[in-house]
Structure 1
Amino acid sequence: MTTKQRWVLALTSAASFMIALDTTVVTTALSTIRRDLGASVETLEWVVNAYVLTFAVLLLTGAALGDRFGRRRMFVAGLATFTVASAACALAPTIGLMIAARAVQGVGAALVLPLAITQLSAAFSAEQRGKALGIWSGITGLATFGGPFIGGAVAQGLAWQWIFWINVPVGLLAVAFTFLRINESRGPNRGLDAGGVVLAIGGSLGLVWGLVRGNAAGWGSLEVVASLTVGVVLVVAFVGWEIRSLTPMLPMRFFAVRGFSSANAANFAMIAGMYATLFFLAQYFQTAQGDGPLLAGLRIMPWTGTLMVCGPVAGRLADRFGERGPLLAGLLLQAIGSGWLALIISPDLGYGWMLPPMILAGCGISIAMPAAQKAVVGAVRLEEIGPASGGFSMLRQLGGMFGIAIAVAVFAAVGSYASPHDFSGGFAAVLTAVTLFAVIGAACAAALPGRSRTAPAVSAPTVSVAR
């Protein structure tokens, strides 16, 4: 690598690590945040969902803004937005202001991640790009692996506010060195699908709000019925808008391809279950078993760590045998592990009894994840990899948001924070819902086309713009 290439790789990797880390780092601090800010379980989920919602629906717009106004300029704008919002999260005196700041963080993240990979790809030749992207993906993947542990260590050793304060010096340094070390560049001046963005945000918000408020306000209440109805109407309007748009953020014709639609549906269900489990697992260790945030983060690591072990092997299996087998097997393992844990979970359950089902479910997710992405980008033409991969990432983030929303609704109907026994009962119901998610995902995976005898439509390496 040249000196310039090293700087591009270092800065884009650091920014992507910071962005990806904030998706999972708060999970082990949720119990502390709930107590300090007096949050209910319904409002607590928005600490995660507000970030994921704006991140997901603006993800495809970030790359288009960079092409039009300058990639370095918009990358820096995203870093600055994320950094300022991180400080606002740390200073938030109420849960409402915390949620608002997290939504702004998601806006910054939606600019940073797609432009990080765009600038990285532009800085390296075709012969060097695979290695550079591999290093970037590995560093970004460490955020998923280490997020719960880092969050627990910071929340217990310092205070939960430092989860956000740590972003400030890193963000400021990244902004300064980006101006000094990365040149400005632009891409094709594509149109912005502003109508699609507005409809996607409105539809997602309406559906999630209805799910969140269902237990508290009543499923037959005007608020909940109106919210769900508006959500469905706006999602249908989004589909219609995208069909007619000259520059759609997610081309609807992709869904006519069975490989694209089946793999995205399977991945949506899998990620819904993963986020739902992650949201409550750290809280279970702290609320039901009395662990501190640090120990809770350590206990989650065997589950998240399976990605580092199984991911590379799963990718090779998908290359050799096709995507349907690994995707189906992974979702079935997730279903078995989650169902097993749902049957045995209790306040006094020994950690040794939890490890086998946790690892089984984690291995299932790690095996299915590369196969799902490979199936999605392999279903489209070479020149369509960008929007297909972006759509996959957007649906992945939305799957996590809906998974948390449904899990919270299930937990609120069955359990509570009143006692370890009440919490464990609610968590068992959540794990049952996660098992159902995985079974639905497995059914979608089974609908994937078998391995083609001809050359695939896409032979380029698959790259995700978000984790």
Structure 2
Amino acid sequence: MRVGTWSLRTIWLILVACFAVSLVVAAMAALNTALPDIARDVHASSSDMTWIIDGYTLVLAALLLPAGALGDRFGRRGILMIGLVIFGFASLAAVWVDTPTALILTRCAAGVGAALIMPTTLSLITAGVPREQRAIGVSVWAAVAGIGAILGFFVTGVLLMFFSWHSVFIAFAISAAGTLALTFTVGSSKDDDPGSFDVLGSLTSVLAVAGVVFGLLEAPTRGWSDPLVLVALIGGVVLGGLFIVIERRRTSPLLDVGLFRNRAFASGSLSVALQFFASFGVFYLILLLLQLIYGYSPLRSAFALIPMVVGVGVFALLGNWVAVRFHSLRFVLAAGIAIAGAGVLAIGIVDPDVYWKLAIMLGVCAVGIGLATAPSTTAIMSNTPLEKQGVGSAVNDTARELGAAIGIALAGSLVAAGYASRIGPTADAAHRQIAALDPASADGAADGIRRSLAGAVAVSDQLPPQAAPLADFIRTGAENSFLPPMQQACLVLGGILLAGAVFLGWFAPRQVIATEPELAAGPELVAGSPVGDSP
């Protein structure tokens, strides 16, 4: 049966793949809104709370490349199903844990499942959808992956209105089981001649990505000069260089690093990293603004991000159509990243004192990300040999994770440093006044105020009613210490995006599929392009 030129089989494959990837992306963001409740129940420290979130991200990012290769070798649908089983059981196990360590372990296990799920979803689409419809399939996938985090905020906010935080993990488990059942209804694909599995390359890539991501995630808390952060970052970069050397010498490499000499492939990878650098860096800042300064609930915060959903969802389809139809990859990538950069810069320049101003600026940012997101992924996948689509998808996903980690680390570090340099007078004055009321709690309260905006809000909320003027003083001082560095962080993020847009305007090729003059790596890569060959 067909709907227009589309077969129901093709539509169904895209829908199932999008269900699966939305689950993975939503799980990256959903726990942020439930974290305060979780911390109280399992008695988690600040460090524990960080790793309840980041354990999942670290494992997911580190395992993407080998997971994509496993899908190419053994069948993408089978690896997707294994990933859904692991993800579902790990999510369900979190319901019964009562210590932060146990919860972190379940999150890491869920990250293993997510790493098996994410690259197989895109590679199933690019290998299983007819040539003339792949661009739309990739656009839909990219839009869902782009807005999945906001959907996670929204679903978590709804659940927390009626149930405990356990309901979030139960929802993950049920969703994984439902998606697993749907996966039985789609076909599979794989590399018919995969060669030997690159064990050494896989181990090196895992350690390299894990080192870089760990360092980036820890930098805002520990500081960029912390020995552990430096060892992780430098070690990760060195191992990344070693990985390139190993892959260039292998006959059956995990990743053909020569693909990055293809300007369309390299431009798409950089663009994806920049998009998630922007979106997750901005998410980090805006959620603090919405919940701690505007006073929004988690659910209302999710609704406040609707401009991002609309912008990314609509313009993902438009951007890919323009890039493919008019052979304008360079223009779409550069314009999209530049528009996103302008939106982020605007947040840094215009005082976001009311929501409607913030909504307009978020909408501009989303339009830019939406324009660039699908063409970037199409450029990566269209220049990856058909039999290596899992690895190509893993490159796309690894670029997302690294971009997100860098964005959060940079934004978090700038805000933390700026807040710490401004909050001292407020903390000192609050210490003196609290000491007059309750000497035993004065030191702890002052430390909480100095630590972060969230800590200052918590201290003000715990003061007795008769200390309302002091609570207002603490909140005002903390907000005035947070807003300037938040806007400075947006200026830095936006400036980096504009620099990236200029580079893409020079470096990216016009064609989504590299032509002979644009392909430094050789024409054999184009011959294997999934856009050039119908499955």
TM-score relative to the length of structure 2: 0.73
Match of 2:510 in 1: 451
Q: Deviations over 1:278-328 (max 9, x none)?
A: 233223211222111110110011123211221111112212151111211
Match of 2:330 in 1: 324
The alignment status of 1:295 with 2:300, answered yes or no, reads yes
Q: Distance in 2 between matches of 1:17 and 1:95?
A: 26
Q: Offset at 1:236?
A: 1.9
Match of 2:437 in 1: none
Amino acid in the other structure paired with 1:327: L
Q: Distance in 2 between matches of 1:279 and 1:16?
A: 21
Which region of structure 1 is more displaced relative to structure 2, 395-404 or 23-32? Answer: 23-32
Which region of structure 1 is more displaced relative to structure 2, 207-216 or 333-342? Answer: 207-216
Whether the 8 Å CA contact 1:217–1:224 is kept in 2: the answer is yes
Amino acid in the other structure paired with 2:320: G
Q: Choose the corresponding residue for 1:306, options 293, 306, 311.
A: 311
Match of 1:375 in 2: 379
The alignment status of 1:437 with 2:442, answered yes or no, reads no
Q: Based on CA coordinates, which of the two structures has the bigger radius of gyration?
A: 2
SS of alignment partner, residue 305 of structure 1: helix
Residues 125/403 of structure 1: CA separation in 2 closer, same or farther (3 Å cut)? closer
Residues 460/12 of structure 1: CA separation in 2 closer, same or farther (3 Å cut)? closer
The alignment status of 1:57 with 2:69, answered yes or no, reads no
Whether the 8 Å CA contact 1:277–1:430 is kept in 2: the answer is no
Whether the 8 Å CA contact 2:72–2:388 is kept in 1: the answer is no
Q: Choose the corresponding residue for 1:109, options 107, 114, 124.
A: 114
Which region of structure 1 is more displaced relative to structure 2, 182-191 or 108-117? Answer: 182-191
Q: Distance in 2 between matches of 1:206 and 1:286?
A: 32
Whether the 8 Å CA contact 1:336–1:435 is kept in 2: the answer is yes
Amino acid in the other structure paired with 2:349: L
Unaligned runs of 5+ in 1: 463-467
Amino acid in the other structure paired with 1:165: I
Match of 1:424 in 2: 483
Q: Deviations over 1:206-225 (max 9, x none)?
A: 33443444465554443333
Match of 1:400 in 2: 404
Q: Distance in 2 between matches of 1:308 and 1:214?
A: 32
The alignment status of 1:342 with 2:348, answered yes or no, reads yes
Q: Distance in 1 between matches of 2:31 and 2:301?
A: 12
Q: Deviations over 1:226-271 (max 9, x none)?
A: 3333222222222222222333232211222333323322331231
| Superposition CA RMSD, Å | 3.7
Which region of structure 1 is more displaced relative to structure 2, 281-290 or 451-460? Answer: 451-460
Residues 454/355 of structure 1: CA separation in 2 closer, same or farther (3 Å cut)? closer
Q: Distance in 2 between matches of 1:455 and 1:224?
A: 38
The alignment status of 1:149 with 2:154, answered yes or no, reads yes
Alignment of 1:27-176 (within 5 A): 27-30=32-35, 32-33=37-38, 44-66=49-71, 68-69=73-74, 71-117=76-122, 143-144=148-149, 146-175=151-180
Which region of structure 1 is more displaced relative to structure 2, 444-453 or 397-406? Answer: 444-453
Q: Deviations over 1:136-193 (max 9, x none)?
A: 66766663552322222223332333222112223334445656x5678764352333
SS of alignment partner, residue 447 of structure 1: helix
Residues 266/182 of structure 1: CA separation in 2 closer, same or farther (3 Å cut)? closer
Whether the 8 Å CA contact 1:57–1:200 is kept in 2: the answer is yes
Which region of structure 1 is more displaced relative to structure 2, 391-400 or 21-30? Answer: 21-30
Alignment of 1:259-274 (within 5 A): 259-274=264-279
Q: Deviations over 1:101-150 (max 9, x none)?
A: 22221211222233445556777776887787777667666635523222
Whether the 8 Å CA contact 1:411–1:427 is kept in 2: the answer is yes
Amino acid in the other structure paired with 1:342: G
Q: Deviations over 1:385-444 (max 9, x none)?
A: 654443222222222123223322223222322245144344334323321331232133
Whether the 8 Å CA contact 2:122–2:393 is kept in 1: the answer is no
SS of alignment partner, residue 392 of structure 1: helix
Unaligned runs of 5+ in 2: 2-6, 420-451, 458-477, 516-525
Whether the 8 Å CA contact 1:272–1:437 is kept in 2: the answer is no
SS of alignment partner, residue 248 of structure 1: coil
Whether the 8 Å CA contact 1:270–1:437 is kept in 2: the answer is no
Alignment size in residue pairs: 459
Match of 2:362 in 1: 358
The alignment status of 1:225 with 2:230, answered yes or no, reads yes
Q: Choose the corresponding residue for 1:242, options 227, 247, 250.
A: 247
Whether the 8 Å CA contact 2:119–2:390 is kept in 1: the answer is no
Whether the 8 Å CA contact 2:349–2:487 is kept in 1: the answer is yes
Residues 43/332 of structure 1: CA separation in 2 closer, same or farther (3 Å cut)? farther
SS of alignment partner, residue 405 of structure 1: helix
Which region of structure 1 is more displaced relative to structure 2, 135-144 or 263-272? Answer: 135-144
Residues 214/254 of structure 1: CA separation in 2 closer, same or farther (3 Å cut)? same
TM-score relative to the length of structure 1: 0.83
Q: Deviations over 1:30-52 (max 9, x none)?
A: 55556666667765454444323
Match of 1:465 in 2: none
Whether the 8 Å CA contact 1:267–1:441 is kept in 2: the answer is no
